[in-house]
Structure 1
Amino acid sequence: MRHFISFVLALAISTSLAFGQPDSCRLRISVITCAPGAELYSLFGHTALRITDSTRHQDVVFNYGTFDFSDPDFYSKFVRGKLDYFLNPEPFDGFMQFYQEEQRGITEQELNMTCAEKQALLEALKTNLQGSNKYYKYDFLFDNCTSRVRDQVQHNIPGVTMQAPLVPEGTTFRNMIHVYLDNGGQPWSKLGIDLLLGSRMDRPVTVNESMFLPDYLLKGVDSAKKGDKTPLVLQKKQLFSASPDLSPQNKHVPLIVFSVIAVVVLLLSQWKQKAGTTLMLIIDSIGLYVTGLVGVLLLFMWFCTDHVACAANYNLLWALPTNLLAGFFIYKRPTWVRKYFLYLAFLQIAVLVAWIFLPQQLNIAFLPVVIITAWRSFQLTFK
């Protein structure tokens, strides 16, 4: 019922906007920034556009961050990067209530716009609501709910500039994301993101690119100037002040866990009895299967999905898909498998030497994995 009511309200709003011709000078247009939440999906915050029409008594939020969770192929499309997000108009009161319930602060920046600029932006949104125009392929870095708002503002306010540096020089996409994951106490999510997202995350961001996150678009709009050098923000308000309850974990928890596992494996490898040798072969085979499957996953995300950030992933230097095959021959160890382990050992040493020079920032928690893989590969070569 709730989804049906939301659909009816959205339809009524979009129909009214499509056929009405409001006096644009009676429009009030704002950028709405919602603070990060406690869950991973909300950890980076949210951005939307608010348009208030005093003549028609409408207060509408245009939200680019919506998708159809009821789609029967939702999970398949999400994994493959083919899930359609869309622009959705909704009443401001309902929008506000949702974020209040989640205890997430809401900041409003009313934009300093002429009547013509307001009308142009409204027309752009109306066009964006028509048919297939409302859908887009979500990209976390380059095409998301925040970047869409940024682009609408820049395209419909002539001469607006947002060129003040918002992050220190050399800051990368990964650096920016890490701040939120660390502050939100999400060390395992950080590990997973660092595993799946490749080297495209590690180039320095431009000023415009840094505004892919809501807090940085807020800063960019704050510092922006129009063509006549007047500030873009007419006034700024804190509509709701709150902070979600967070349960932060030590950001080094994965490193500690993997280090303990590596030490245990190292100690067990010194057990020379037959039982110890058998146990180590089981552990080694499991390690090869796991790293091999991870490598297959990374290749799939690179070549078989539309997630551009998953391309050129240097984690494939330690998570080799070929480990999966080697795991099946570890017990008999024919000559080619021994050579494979020698190659694997030298490759892991090379990764360790080049760790800080690679064009991708590898998560430090994987360091014990690389070290123990090198150690065990040498032992398997010469035993």
Structure 2
Amino acid sequence: MTLQISRLIKPCLAALLATMFFFTAGAQTDSCPIRISVITCAPGEELYALFGHTALRITDSTKGEDIVYNYGTFDFGDPDFYAKFVRGKLDYFLNPEYYHDFIRFYQEEQRGITEQELKLTCAEKQAVIQALHVNLQGANKYYKYDFLFDNCTSRVRDLLQKHIPGLTMQTRLTAPGTTFRHMIHTYLDNGGQPWSKLGIDILLGSRMDRAVTVQESMFLPDFLMKGVDSATRQGASVVSARKQLFTATPVSHKQNKWVPLLVFSIFAFLILLLSRWKSKTGKTLTRIADSVLLYLTGLAGFLLLFMWFCTDHVACANNYNLLWMLPTNLVAGFFLWKRPNWLKKYFLYAGFLQIAILFAWLFLPQQLNISLVPVVLLLAYRYYQLSAN
């Protein structure tokens, strides 16, 4: 009898223990004192803040901790700050700060803040925290910032994808054919930054003009936020809750994005009028204007070469603006007043090159800024005049 009762009890006890373990494990997951959230801050007024910001928030209720881990920190007090920044060698680093200090800064700047709490197990949360702690150790905390491929947002994206098993973020976030330049232009236009847009279009080369993948599109905070919203694991959403921590009214920017085109058109027209002034004074002033034009484009061309070959900014490579910002113009400007025989041939070939650029404008592997058309037209005209006289 005792043996029979034992045989009946053991299976029931095993089932009870398994059930208790299942609910206990579930309770541990649900009652885990740690919360991990993705924080997305809206764009700001200044150029450095125009694209928004991403960070990770980790709250531990048992320890009373509420820490934000921010990969977008750099040392502005570095004596070589500007040199390192220009050459792409400036160290950015992971910096933990108290949540209230972090959020106060963005509230003062009137920038909206969105939080997406992630649905993770305790083990996965611990894995994320451990990865952050490893990143904080010694040289691990530093990295070479790259605006497109290694920034404060892509670092959070990569960390989540590495430490959340089964995470899928494959939903297309942009229209087919969207390039890095298209995405950046949207923020520059919305932020009323036409001159910054022109400068970026001049400095950044053709690598900006290939279509982005789903993964690459999440280099911008708003798009990582969309990616996290659409992220799934085994068919279930990874986001357990989404809330607006701070709401701010976006500032309306009325600056016309066509201002540079208008300014350059007026400039080109004035130089054209000056070149038609046939008096001795007019010819002298025209020669001075030509010299300035040659020196400026030549120096700009050398700057583009420097950014391409002498810095770590990969986005500055393969820059087709060098077809009109000819570095050799610096030499031509030096010899303009002496007029050696070879100079006429130089201007003739340079003029043909400008005409070829204008015909190929829409077909180049790089999207050139439309505001530059009057400048290229002016160069073509002045090269022709200089080759004929």
Partner of 1:333: 339
Shift of residue 245 of structure 1? 3.6
Q: Which residue of 2 aligns with 1:264?
A: 270
Q: How does 1:303-318 map to 2 (within 5 A)?
A: 303-318=309-324
User: CA 1:278–1:32 in 2, change beyond 3 Å: closer, same or farther?
Assistant: same
Deviation at 1:267, TM superposition (A): 1.4
AA aligned opposite 1:263: F
Compared CA separation, residues 117 and 274, structure 1 to 2 (3 A): same
How does 1:171-182 map onto structure 2 within 5 Å?
Answer: 171-182=178-189
In structure 1, what is the equivalent of residue 325 of structure 2? 319
TM-score computed with the length of structure 1 as normaliser: 0.93
Provide the C-alpha distance between the structure 1 equivalents of 2:99 and 2:249, rounded to a whole number of angstroms.
Answer: 20
Between Structure 1 and Structure 2, whose CA radius of gyration is higher? 2
Give, in whole Å, the separation in 1 of the partners of 2:228 and 2:351: 51
1:170 aligns with 2:177: yes
Whole-angstrom distance in 2 between the partners of 1:330 and 1:360 = 31
Q: Distance in 1 between matches of 2:161 and 2:379?
A: 50
Give the corresponding residue for 1:354. 360
1:290-301 to structure 2, matched below 5 A, reads 290-301=296-307
1:200 aligns with 2:183: no
Which secondary structure state, in structure 2, belongs to the residue aligned with residue 212 of structure 1?
coil
Letter paired with 2:89: K
Q: Which ranges in structure 2 are unaligned for 5 or more consecutive residues?
A: 1-29
Partner of 1:34: 41
Match of 1:150 among 131, 154, 157: 157
Q: Is the 8 A contact 1:183 1:248 kept in 2?
A: no
Distance 1:300 1:340, change over 3 A: same
Q: Distance in 1 between matches of 2:103 and 2:330?
A: 50
> Which residue does the alignment assign to 1:137?
144
Corresponding residue for residue 97 of structure 1: 104
Counterpart AA for 1:367 = V
3-state SS of paired residue (2:38): strand
Equivalent residues in 2 for 1:220-259 (5 A)?
220-226=227-233, 228-259=234-265
Shift of 1:276: 1.1
Whole-angstrom distance in 1 between the partners of 2:102 and 2:254: 27
Aligned twin of 1:127: 134
2:44 maps to amino acid: G
Asked if structure 1 preserves the Cα contact closer than 8 Å seen for 2:190 and 2:253, the reply is no
- 8 Å contact 1:38–1:246 — kept in the other structure? no
Secondary structure of 2:162 counterpart? helix
Secondary structure in 1 matching 2:218: helix
- Over residues 95-128 of structure 1, what are the superposed CA-to-partner deviations in whole Å (9 max), with x where a residue is unaligned? 0000000000000000011111111101100111
Letter in 2 for 1:152: L
Q: State the match for 1:343 in structure 2.
A: 349
1:94, CA displacement in angstroms? Answer: 0.3
- Tell me the distance in 2 between the aligned counterparts of 1:357 and 1:242: 41
Structure 1 CA distance for aligned equivalents of residues 258 and 364 of structure 2: 21
Q: Which amino acid aligns with 2:382?
A: R
Q: Does 1:159 align with 2:166?
A: yes
| Correspondence 1:106 to 2:113 | yes
Determine the structure 2 residue equivalent to 1:80.
87
Tell me the CA shift for residue 248 of structure 1.
3.4
How far apart, CA to CA, are the structure 1 residues paired with 2:296 and 2:250? Answer: 36
Contact 1:63–1:87 (CA<8 Å) still a contact in 2?
yes
Cα offset, 1:201, TM superposition: 0.4
Displacement after TM superposition at 1:52 (Å): 0.2
* 8 Å Cα contact 2:91-2:145 kept in structure 1: yes
Single out whichever of 326-335 and 99-108 deviates more from structure 2: 326-335
SS at match of 2:66: strand
* TM-score, length-scaled by structure 2: 0.91
TM alignment of 1:37-56, pairs within 5 A: 37-56=44-63
CA RMSD of aligned residues (A): 1.1
Q: Tell me by how many angstroms 1:247 deviates.
A: 4.0
2:196 corresponds to 1:189? yes
The correspondence for 1:285, drawn from 285, 288, 291, is 291
1:82 is paired with a residue whose SS is: coil
The secondary structure found in structure 2 opposite 1:208 is: helix
| Structure 1 stretches lacking a partner, 5+ long | 1-22
Per-residue deviation, 1:274: 1.4
The whole-number CA distance in structure 2 between the counterparts of 1:113 and 1:27 is: 10
By how many angstroms is 1:332 displaced?
A: 2.3
Contact 1:166/1:210 (<8 A) preserved: yes
| Corresponding letter in the other structure for 1:349 | I
- 1:233-273 CA distance string (max 9 Å, x none): 10100000003545431001000000000011111111111
Assess if the C-alpha contact under 8 Å between 1:34 and 1:45 holds in 2: yes
